Amino acid sequence: MVEDSEFREFRDLMKRPDRFEDGVHWGTAAMALFVGLLMTPAQLYMHLVAGVEMGSAAQWVTVILYVEVARRAMAKLKRPEVFVLFYMCGAVIHSGGGLLWNQFLVQSEEMRKLGVTEYIPEWFAPGDPDVLGHRSFFMRAWLVPILLTILTLAVSRLDHFGLGYVMFRLTSDVEKLPFPMAPVGAMGMTALADAVNERDSWQWRVFSIGGVAGAAFGLIYLGIPNVTSAVFTRGLQIIPLPFVDLTPYSEHLLPTMPMMISLDLSFMVLGMVLPYWAMVGALIGLLFTVIVNPVLFHTGLLPSWEPGLGGIRTIQANTMDFYFSFGLGLSFAVALIGLLQIARGLLKRRRAARSTDAEGWKSLARPPAGRGDFAIWIGIMIYLASTATYIGLTYWLVNVAIPIPEGGRPFPLWLLLFYGFVYTPFISYVSARMEGIVGQQVTIPFVREATFILSGYKGAAIWFAPIPLHNYAQQVQFFRTTELTGTRFTSLIKAELLIFPIMALGTVLFAQFIWSIADVPSALFPYANEFWELKAFQQGLLYSATLPGDAPNPFREAFVWQYVAAGGILALAIFGILSYFGLPVFLVYGVVRGLDQSAPHAIVPMFLGAIIGRFILRKRFGEHWSSYRIVFAAGFAAGMGLMTMLSFGLVLMSKSAVQLAF
C-alpha cells in the first residue's frame, strides 16, 4: 500500500526552534480560570444536548480574547503563551462529566436488564434510590466516589510526565522520528500568535467567516431549543436534535437497517477537515450494511429485530445478534494491519539510519539547551510511582474494599502487574514509533476486556476500577508539539499546578449545576436521552461476561466466534485488495468505521463535507485550502460554542429563579 499524499502534505511543516521560552504568565492563568468557570459547564451542557464537543471552540475563543487584550495593551504575544493557554483550556474544558455518567449508570434500565446493577460498587456510585432522588452530589454517600475521582485525576495529571516523556526522549531525541502530525497541531495553535499585529491576516478573515457561520447555525440548532426549553415546558426544535430517525419509514423496504441522519452542519465541517479517503471508505461501509442487513435478517441472523423499534433500538438489537462479534473481528484486523505497517516502517527506518544510532543515544544525556528537560530517571520514577498507585488502589478497591460476591473470585494481582509494567511500556513504545513514522497510533483491541474475562475473575467491580492499562503515544506527540512551538517543558508543570484545582472543583460543581436543573438524561438533554442507554447496553454486554454464576449471560449470547472470524477476514480482504491496487490506507479505516454501525447518522453529512471540500473548495482556493479548512473549522466550532454559552447562561438564570408565594 502506498504512502498517502495526505501524510506527505503534513511532513516537515515546522522545524525545531533554537530558542525556548516560558509560556505561563498571570494572563494565561486568568484565561484558564475564565474557561474553567464559564466554558466548562457550557461544554458539558452542549454534550448532553447535542453530543457536540466544544473543546477546540473554547480554546480558540479564549485565545482570541487573550489576543485582543494583548493588542490593546500593546503587548507582544509569544507562541509559548498561546500554546500553554491551549493546553490549559483543553484540560479544564473536559472536567465535570464523570459523576453524571456514574449516577446514570447505577440507575440505567439496560444495566438492570443485563443483571449488572447489583454488582456496581458503592465507591463508583451509591445505589440507594433515596440518595439518587435528591439529585445532589453534596451528600455523604457521594464522598468516597468524589474523593476517588479526584485522586485518580491527580495521579493521571502527574503521570503525563512519566513514561510519555521517556518515550518522547527515545523516539524524538534518539531515533529522531519525524512525527508528521505534530506540526499540524503546532501551526494551528500558533497562527493567531504570529498574526497578532496583522489585523487583516488570512487567519483572522477565515476564522471570522467560520465564527459567523457557526454562530448563525448554533442559534438555530442549539440556541433557540435551549432558550425555549427554559421558558416553556418543551423546547422548540427547528432542526431535530440529535438526528432525524427515518427508520420507521424505511423498515419495510430495509428491515434491520437504522436509517438515521444528522442535520448538524458541524459534521459537514468535520468532513472537510478529515482525510477524504477515510470519508469515502466510511460511506462504502455504510452502503454495504444497507445491502447486507436485510439479507442477514431474512437468513435469520438478526432475529431480535421487529418493526417499530426505531433507529437506536435497532442498533441495540443488531449489536446483540451480530455486530458485537463482527465488530470484534474488524477491530482485531485493524490492529493486525497497524502492526504490519509498523513492522514495514521499522524495517525501512532501520536500513536508513544505521550510522546515526550511537550519536542518537548520546542525546539522552544532552537534550537541547533551554528546552526545560528534566533528568530521564525522574520520568521513570514518576511512571513507577503512578503505576504502583494504580495497582495498589485497584487491588484494594476490587478485592478488599467490597466483599467478593457469592460464587465470585478475586482479581489476580499478577495481571495488574502485567498491565502496568509489561503491556503498557510495550504498546506505548510501539504506538509512539507508529505515530512518529506515519502519524498513526496502533492499539490492540479488547486487551482489557479479554484479560478480564479470561482471568477467572467473577464480579463487576474491576470494570469500574482505575487499572494501569495505558497507551502514552498521544503524550509523546504532545511533547513533540510542545517542542515545535518553542515552549519550555517546565511551563507544562506550572500549568498543571494552576489547572488541577480548577479541574478538581469542576468535577463536582459543574456536574451539580447540571443535575440540579433536571434528571440526566431526560427530555431536556436530547443527546443523552437518546444515546446513553445505548452506550450502557453496549458496555453492559461486556460487564455481564464476568458476573458470578454459570447461567447464560448476555455476553455469551452475543459472542459468536464465527462472526468474529467473518469480520476479521472481511477487513483483511479489503486491506489486501486496496493494497494490490495501491489505494490509500485511509480507505481501509473508513470502511471499517462504516461497517461497525457506531455512528450511522454522522457518516452521510461528513461525506458531503468531504466532497464539498475536495471538489469545490480545493479548486476554489488551491493549495491554501489545506490551511484554510483547519482555521475555518476552528472558527465554526467557536461560533457554535459562543451561542451555546449564551443560551446555557439563560437556562441557568431561568432555573435559578425562585418563585415567591405572593
pLDDT > 80? residue 46: no
Is the confidence at residue 574, as pLDDT, over 90? no
Average pLDDT over residues 77-101: 82
378 band by pLDDT with thresholds 50, 70 and 90? very high
Nearest partner of 645 among 39, 72, 20, judged by Cα: 39
pLDDT at 386: 96
The residue with greater pLDDT, 524 or 50, is: 524
Q: Which pLDDT band, with edges at 50, 70 and 90, does 81 fall under?
A: confident
Q: Are β-strands 260-261 and 244-245 bridged in parallel, bridged antiparallel, or unpaired? A: antiparallel
641 SS3 class: helix
Distance from chain centroid for Cα 578: 28
Q: Supply 436's cell numbers.
A: 512518529
Highest mean predicted confidence (pLDDT) among 129-143, 224-238, 563-577: 129-143
Residue 581 has a pLDDT of 81
Q: Identify the residue whose cell numbers are 531525541.
A: 173
**Residue at 170: amino acid letter:** L
Please, are residues 114 and 324 in contact by the beta-carbon 8 Å criterion?
no
Asked whether the predicted pLDDT for residue 658 surpasses 80, the reply is no
CA distance 645 to 43: 8
358 has a pLDDT exceeding 60: no
Q: What pLDDT is attached to residue 605?
A: 93
Looking at residue 458, the DSSP 8-state letter turns out to be: B
Residue 39 is predicted with a pLDDT of 74
- Given this model, what pLDDT does residue 355 score? 47
356: confidence class by pLDDT, cuts 50, 70, 90: very low
**Greatest mean pLDDT among 120-134, 338-352, 365-379, 623-637:** 120-134
pLDDT of residue 649: 72
Helix (H, G, I), strand (E, B) or coil at 245: strand
308 pLDDT higher than 90: no
Tell me the mean pLDDT in the region 269-281: 85
Using pLDDT thresholds of 50, 70 and 90, give the confidence band for residue 3.
very low
pLDDT average, residue stretch 144-155: 94
Mean pLDDT taken over the chain: 82
Q: Which helix (H) or strand (E) holds 260?
A: strand 260-261
Q: What is the pLDDT of residue 352?
A: 53
* pLDDT level of residue 661 (50, 70, 90 thresholds): very low
CA distances (Å), origin 532, targets 263, 312, 359: 20, 10, 53
Angstrom distance (rounded) from CA 614 to CA 662? 63
Which cell numbers in the block locate residue 560? Answer: 459468536
